[in-house]
Amino acid sequence: MSLADLQVRSLGEARYDSPLAEYVAHRATNAYYVAEDDRVLIDDTISLLASRGDVPLDEVPSYEPGGPRRKIFFDPATTKAGIVTCGGLCPGLNDVIRALVLELFEHYGVTDVTGFRNGYAGLAPGQAPDPIELTPSFVQSIAERGGTVLGSSRGSQEVGVMVDTLVDRGIDILFVIGGDGSMRGAHAIHEEIARRELSIAVVGVPKTIDNDIPLIGTSFGFQTAYAKAAESIKAARVESDAAVGGVAVVKVMGRHAGFVACYSALAYQDADFVLIPEVPFSLDGENGLLAQLAKRVSERGSAVIVLAEGAGQDLIPASRRTDASGNQVLGDFSGLLRARIARDFKDRGMPLTLRHFDPGYLIRSVPADAADSVYCTRLAQVAVHAAMAGRTDIVVGRPRHRFAHVPIEEVTKRTQRVNPDGDLWLSVMESTGQPFTMH
């Protein structure tokens, strides 16, 4: 990745004095703040930086920092903003909506904010309930419950129709809260806006309960999600310990990335095995999962398996079905695994009490915890600062613990996954004591 890849788009010269200019007028970069004319490095070790060779410092790949600017592109007195939430639910959606509205109203004086209902369908006339007016009083208490007050949906709409809606309603800024598919949609909306030579900013607040969007640091809602999943693992530990030959399988979210499985297993260190999509394993053989599971139960009396939903898909026939967003429908490896465990224990003459826990929809529909709520608020504030400054076709994130702007195209090129050679997976191995390979 080069510096050119990380250059963000702007609608034009920022000509208006920002209402927040006095906040940043005399601030310089320090350990806790990055000035607007500075950059946030991608490389965070000496060896990584040195591996780039003799690249001048001003050409090293880096992000544009997030935060308020001295000058802004939009006149707050005439600016109209829109907000849409897309895709599956995630803790913190209402927190982000609330923070966007409060920042627009209270710090920039933008008092015309529209909430489009049911995802991108809300930008297509007749496809969703009418948009609603978002005000500070409306959003004041929405963070107390999970989900999204705007509703959500999967699937795409015709891009030209969505841009027509923005134009008809006089929207100057569109905030999109959604996952990688939603961000691809946001990029398509931006491209159509650019083709028409319109001055409408499109800014994304990326959402993924799986934490699988790259270059943004941790995604909002992830901490709440794995904390809730950890409660299910603790319950599974209690159930399995109390039973004769107790084995519990806890299935958590993670289609392509095992972050929820890893972090939830580490929270209380109650898991004996963690299965994730990034690390292949076998069921059969001397070192396969079934043999290792039987050994663990023989030695300790019980075992808990944490299973990311996308793990083991190579061990079952591939599904040809897709959902409304075009994602492949996963096969039921969890069902296969439980059937194979039951058969294996029977063949070995071992007693078995098998329990299954699936907290998936529970962990994505709860309100954000306090830490996630803070993160949602700060991300939303950075998104508003970026939009008012005329930045477009970007998402906001916190790579390297610094808030930054990232081009949408860069976060949709690949999926962030657990690195089997990284320190997270090593921590899981240390916590569970499972073999480094199970083949």
Q: Residues at the annotated binding site for Mg(2+)? A: 180
Q: 112: which DSSP letter?
A: E
Residues β-bridged to residue 71? 17
CA atoms within 13 A on the CB side of 67: 23
The answer to whether 57 and 103 are in contact (CB under 8 A) is no
Buried-state track 312-340, b at ≥16 Cβ within 10 A, e below 16: bbebeeeeeeeeebeeeebbebbeebbeb
Helix, strand or coil, per DSSP, at residue 322: strand
Q: How many helices (H) and strands (E) does the chain have?
A: 14, 17
Spell out the residues 6+ positions from residue 232 whose beta carbon is closer than 8 angstroms to its own. 250, 252, 264, 357, 359, 362, 363
Buried-state track 190-228, b at ≥16 Cβ within 10 A, e below 16: bebbeeeeeebbbbbbbbbbbbbbbbbbbbbbbbbbbbb
- CA neighbor of 322 nearest in space, from 188, 155, 111, 192: 155
Catalytic residue list contains 210: yes
Q: Is 36 exposed, middle or buried (0-12, 13-18, 19+ CB in 10 A)?
A: middle
Q: Is 168 exposed, middle or buried (0-12, 13-18, 19+ CB in 10 A)?
A: exposed
Q: Which of 112, 210, 372, 393 is catalytic?
A: 210
* Nearest-angstrom CA–CA distance, 196 and 379: 29
The answer to whether 228 and 268 are in contact (CB under 8 A) is no
Annotated binding site: 88, 154-155, 179-182, 208-210, 253-255, 309, 361-364
Spell out the residues 6+ positions from residue 24 whose beta carbon is closer than 8 angstroms to its own. 35, 36, 67, 68, 69, 70
Which three-class secondary structure string do you get for 196-222? CCCCCEEEEEECCCCCCCCCCCCCCCH
Give φ, ψ of 75 to 5 degrees: -80, 115
The residue type of 394 is I
Which CA distances in Å does 215 have to 35, 89, 177, 223, 372? 20, 21, 16, 17, 18
The answer to whether 216 and 259 are in contact (CB under 8 A) is no
Catalytic residues: 210
